[in-house]
A and B are shown apart, each in its own frame.
Chain A
């Protein structure tokens, strides 16, 4: 949990305990067993609230989920060339090998000199150059081991270091 949600959670926790112990009518005429039930209910409430806060609180750049954009032409090309399985594989491998990936955009590209076509996986990554090269090396090793030629040449990772 990040610090802002932690502060909010603490405030909420305080409020709950104040409510619990400042309500004499709840305490009067009830046995100790009821207080225990209330405490358990409040504990469950606190847990739920913590979970809700985690979802609502703004995340740091590193914590934000990677945004993935599929261009229509890229998807059609992959479907036509039987590459769909590799499209999802490359997405998984990018997320796995580049821990700071922020966005992946799949788009169709072609070579004006030869008319060859392929899909670019334009990938926004934060980090320094040598770190990104290291990540790319491990990505390539797995990509080449899992995808045959020429399929692996038809979807290409392009890193954009932010």
Chain B
């Protein structure tokens, strides 16, 4: 399925303003953007683990790909991830039960997806691949350097 469809679910949830729906809007909004990010990286030739550590990998690669727009989208995705944790686990936190905050999460997710979509062309994916490759090389080189010391 297309992860963008989660945004439609989030919109439907937002129509009925109650705490459980608002919390679920955060969840769907995050997963919509996260999965579009996973698809972008995988289409660019970067493998992402299919478990909980995948979230960290997506952040790490998008945050270090060297493309300003993608780095900003990644930063917003991390913010959304933090809100998603509050929405799913911190039941005493009222901030994620407000419709205006849920609406903001939904709109932000749309903007993140928009940024990822701009780079889903062959040229964009190549730039991401090159950026992540350069980052991995830097990390390997730094790791070798620290081991040899």
* Chain B, Cβ-Cβ closest to A116: B56
Secondary structure call for the B interface: helix
Secondary structure call for the A interface: mixed
In contact, A141 and B72 (Cβ under 8 angstroms): yes
Q: Which residues of B contact A141 (CB under 8 A)?
A: 72
In contact, A109 and B100 (Cβ under 8 angstroms): no
CA–CA, A14 and B116, complex, Å: 66
Q: Is A149 an interface residue (CB 8 A)?
A: yes
CA–CA, A37 and B89, complex, Å: 70
* Residues B97-149 near A (CB distance < 8 A): 98, 100-101, 103-104, 107-108, 111
Q: Which residues of B contact A161 (CB under 8 A)?
A: 98, 100-101, 104
Q: Among A116, A132, A157, find the residue whose CB has the most chain B CB atoms closer than 10 A.
A: A116
User: Number of A interface residues, CB 8 Å?
Assistant: 31
In contact, B107 and A129 (Cβ under 8 angstroms): yes
In contact, A114 and B60 (Cβ under 8 angstroms): no
In contact, B104 and A140 (Cβ under 8 angstroms): no
CA–CA, A109 and B87, complex, Å: 13
Q: Which residues of B contact A153 (CB under 8 A)?
A: 59, 63, 75, 78
Given contacts A133-B108, A149-B64, contact A114 B75 (CB under 8 A): no
Q: Would you list 13 pairs from A and B whose C-beta atoms are within 8 A, ordered by A residue?
A: A109-B82, A111-B55, A111-B81, A113-B52, A114-B55, A116-B56, A120-B82, A140-B76, A144-B72, A149-B71, A150-B60, A159-B101, A161-B101
Residue positions of A touching B, CB distance < 8 A? 109, 111-114, 116, 118, 120, 122, 128-130, 132-133, 136-137, 140-141, 143-145, 149-150, 152-153, 156-161
Question: With contacts A141-B72, A153-B59 known, what are 14 further pairs, Cβ within 8 A?
Answer: A111-B85, A133-B108, A133-B111, A144-B72, A144-B75, A145-B68, A149-B60, A150-B60, A156-B79, A158-B79, A158-B82, A159-B101, A160-B98, A161-B104
